[in-house]
Amino acid sequence: MSGGLADVRYSYAFQPIVDINAQAIWSYEALIRGTRGEGAGSVYARVDRLDLHEFDRQSRGVAIEIAGRLGVACSLNLNALPGSLADGTAGVERTVASALAAGLSVDQLVLEVTESEVIEDAVVLCERLNAYRAAGIRIAIDDFGAGYAGLNLLADLQPDVLKLDMTLVRGIDGRGARQSIVRAILQVSLDLGIDVVAEGVETMREYEWLAELGLVLFQGYLIAKPAFESLPAIMLPRVQAAR
């Protein structure tokens, strides 16, 4: 599929996020790929820097289109560069129109920005994200814990979803300092009504420790690898989260 900028061709892979209490798929994250399955870095490397934000806008529309064609019935997580949200109301309307044209409802959409991107200009970005939220689109902070914003960011932005950075998740079953950090993040998120996703879960030990802590939403190779232009089969772990 052509992106329409600099002859960059790309498509999408989809990776599920599961709710282990409901034993169901909660969302799919759309991950940009080259037409042969190349990673996101190789795709963006072919985009001229001046075209990057428009490419990001266009590619989100393509992700929505493919998700609609695949029959995604749950939520759909879409990554966004903060600069690509600068078109204000026009961008919101464009995203809403893409969803409706694909047969998706607006409340299925979850817009992801990374923690490090948020803190570059938090006030401006919060205003932009609130415009999407007003349209019914949920907001997620991705890679939380990788930057330096801290828990204050959650109070300022109050996202709907927080995705733990995989560096916190990796080997967490045996790393006391990371366990303390994740406990604190989870408690604050629960107090603020924020859903928490454990991203990058690869082992049963990681999964079991996080589930015992009370996490419900999981994403990673333990559940399913991203599937190119398709929805992958999933493995739902048996152990349920603490209640």
Q: 206-233, pLDDT tens digit by residue?
A: 999 999 999 999 999 999 999 999 999 9
**Does 125 have pLDDT greater than 50?**
yes
**Does 148 have pLDDT greater than 80?**
no
From the list 204, 193, 161, 167, the residue with the least C-alpha distance to 182 is: 167
Q: Determine the pLDDT at residue 206.
A: 97
More confident residue, 7 or 191: 191
Checking DSSP bridges between strand 11-19 and strand 24-33, what pairing results, if any?
Answer: antiparallel
CATH superfamily, domain 11-228, is EAL domain (3.20.20.450)
Q: Determine the pLDDT at residue 13.
A: 98
Q: In the structure, what pLDDT confidence band is assigned to residue 82 with cuts at 50, 70 and 90?
A: confident
Q: Determine the pLDDT at residue 93.
A: 95
Q: Which residues contact 202 (CB under 8 A, 6 or more apart)?
A: 170, 220, 221, 222
Q: Determine the pLDDT at residue 221.
A: 97
Q: Which residues contact 235 (CB under 8 A, 6 or more apart)?
A: 222, 223, 224
| pLDDT, average across residues 27-37 | 95
Q: What's the Cα-to-Cα distance from 166 to each of 74, 218, 219, 220, rounded to whole Å?
A: 23, 11, 10, 9
Question: Rounded to an integer, what distance in angstroms lies between the CA atom of residue 240 and that of residue 209?
Answer: 11
* CA atoms within a 13 Å half-sphere pointing along the CA-CB vector of 159: 27
Q: Determine the pLDDT at residue 49.
A: 86
Q: Determine the pLDDT at residue 151.
A: 73
